[in-house]
Amino acid sequence: PEGDDPVSSSVLYTCLDMAVPEGWLLTWRVLERARTEAQYAPFALYGSWLRHHPGMSTTAPGPDGLPRCSWCAGASAGYVAYHDHEWGFPVADDHRLFEKVSLEGFQSGLSWRTILDKRENFRAAFKGFDFREVASFDEEDVAHLLANAGIVRHRGKIEAVINNARRACELVQEAGTLAAYFWSFEPAAHELHAHRFVSVSRSSRDLSRDLKRRGWKFVGPTTMHALIQAMGLVNDHVEGCVTRAQVEEARKRFKRP
């Protein structure tokens, strides 16, 4: 589906259930490729598989020896910093939210590490993800972006960001802020556990469906669950992760828009 992982998770789970050696070999190749590209955060195949198997969603020691979500084990300092200080912490700033929606769309089919490494280039190219400015981009701007080697040069994704910026302007007129809109999809307290260790949730399906109805692009339910995790609608740091308690405390203090 548009905006979601290129290989269906159902294919992965079918392979896991196969008893023949070829099936296990295919499974190993898929998992190993995802592992080496550090694609868990958010939503790569390996990470999605881990989250579907809670017993495998464990911690691993970071560079300082403290336990962290296993998806950032052996990662770069920038990747660990993203895990420690951004992923899962609640966000209410509209420009940051539009950035997250946009970068989740760009990440589709790629590793999150690739997007994170290019994030400053994306910010410069898309005016700090000020959606009011991006909404005015025209075909000449698209051509410049397609020539920008510092970002992912995918016409469909670039045009989706511009389209979504225009839809964001419309949404703000209705909801007041993007934050008010996105936080309205926060799961109820008794539903939070059901949103853990999954790649798609009821909230992400509802959010995806509503955004598509409004004309947004590259906002499939898997991509939207990654957004839900990243912006703090849920706390998906695993038990024992050094950052989990910090995120939980931040969510308690956070004033919902």
Q: What is the pLDDT of residues 180-207, one digit of tens each?
A: 999 999 998 878 777 677 889 999 999 9
- Rg over CA atoms, the chain: 18
Q: What is the pLDDT of residues 84-93, one digit of tens each?
A: 999 999 999 9
Plot region of 74 (φ>0 → left; ψ -120 to 50 → alpha; else → beta): left
Q: Which long-range contacts (CB under 8 A, 24 or more apart) does 208-211 make?
A: 208/3, 211/167
Task: Enumerate the active-site residues.
Answer: 82, 104, 112
| Single pTM value for the model | 0.79
Give the residue ranges of the chain where pLDDT is below 50: 1-56
Mean pLDDT over each residue of the chain, to the nearest integer: 83
* Tokens found for residue 229: 């995790």
